[in-house]
Structure 1
Amino acid sequence: MQALVGAEERLRLVAADLVSHFENRIAALEGKAMIVCMSRAICVKLYDQIVALRPDWHSPDDNAGKLKIVMTGSAADPPEWQPHIGNKARRDRLAKRLKDPEDPLQLVIVRDMWLTGFDAPSLHTMYVDKPMQGHGLMQAIARYHTNAISTVEVLQELIDLARDIKAARQRGEEQGLSADEIAFYDALAENESAAEVMGNDQLKVIAHELLMSLKSNITVDWAHREIARADLRRTIKRILRKYGYPPDLQAAAVQTVLQQEEGFAHVSR
């Protein structure tokens, strides 16, 4: 419970700092911002914290409101996530709004959506609340340069990211996991219910086996071959079932792990 309270308090402080910074920034330079979070659960919780400070930024209508979450999901996800989960048509609608400098939508919260292949000239700020390295870090830097963010801000973000990466590595060492294994562990533990059911030791075992499975197929360009992706998806499901990962949470876990493996494969090439 103490850890949960600590996490909630941290998000409350992050939300307060973010709101203050963004309001000061757009007072000097009109534009929009993207907020990148560690997990979908954090995306939703941060959204709630921001709305608690600025209720008028929220709207249940996708065609209105200043703040939105853009993420994928399924019916198996928690009820409080459902208002933020939509299909491609919803994502396209929100993308159109974000690209329109006259549209009131100014802030989007994402986990990994729109980090590549998304061009919005009015999007001039990125807030990062997750460890990023390798390919993901290069994507973030590229977006900064694309939208003319100052060198000072890029350097500050790199310093903050370096601290997060160091903290993640230390956490991995404490858990007896490698830097790669801790990434898969976090993907599996994203759902708090699954973490409670499975337990720490079991999640570590699954993370290790997922990593070994990926390394054995790292030469396959599966990211661009749907058949290979389907094979990998089946492998992930088999490993999750083997260790008794909760069936009702497997669909979301497969998607999260698959995204993690895509990033790992890109960096490893």
Structure 2
Amino acid sequence: MDSHTTLCLLVVALGLLPHGEAILGGQEAEPHSRPYMASIQVQEGEAMKHECGGFVVAPQWVMTAVHCMPTGANGRKVVLGLHSLSQPEDTQQVFDILELHNHPDYSNRNHENDIALIKLDRPFNASEAVRAVEFLRAGGVNPDTDATVDTAGWGSVDNLGSRPDTLHELQVEVVSARRCARGDYFGSKFTGNMMCAHRLCTPPACTLPFRTMDTCDGDSGGPLLYGGVVVGITSNGGKKCGQLKKPGIYTIISHYTQWIDSKLLATPSST
């Protein structure tokens, strides 16, 4: 849910915080080693502030989570090719949001169908720092229980909302769907369109009160990758990050191939 000097991808709310997950227990990513990463930013005073993550899936398209912008773009911008949120970088490209497509069956109650597509105001300029990533389609194989997956974001590093300046990344492990659907985990709020993942937290990566390495506030909308292919979208988790029985929850992308294609292929990209 709604995502870092050494941190634990924190987990946000099924309760739920409006803007997604963060990273607790990971480490800073090599600059521009994840050229598909996007920062969705909102105006705060005279500056722009990172709010949610996303990832590039086509020359003019970014995938993210509905709960990042449930009521529309409202002047937000998308920044590609960045590592630091505060330092100027020649690699950065800034875009207005031309179209926002939130899944029509999104549920605010449990973040079911938490998948959205952003059409940028123009295609990006491909470079070593900006490039689309492959995502799993219908018929593809999703990771099994205990499989190692990885994620990244600029989200909170603790439950006080402390945010990193640079992109952080983390490896986590898939938790069984049966466990996440138990009453002491997420119960009926966890559905077949979701997978959950975290990793037990060991010092010095993270210390009490954090029990797990996971995603948190600010990481929402970012990618969960398996073998370099995006299989999930960071969606939600517990009311506090790093709880043992509240792993991060991720929308399973391959369940939405038809809807994704209906948007990406509906209209030609601008030239």
Normalising by structure 2, report the TM-score: 0.26
Greater percentage in strand: 2
Structure (1 or 2) with the larger CA radius of gyration: 1
Work out which structure has the larger RCO, using CA pairs closer than 8 Å and 6 or more positions apart in sequence: 2
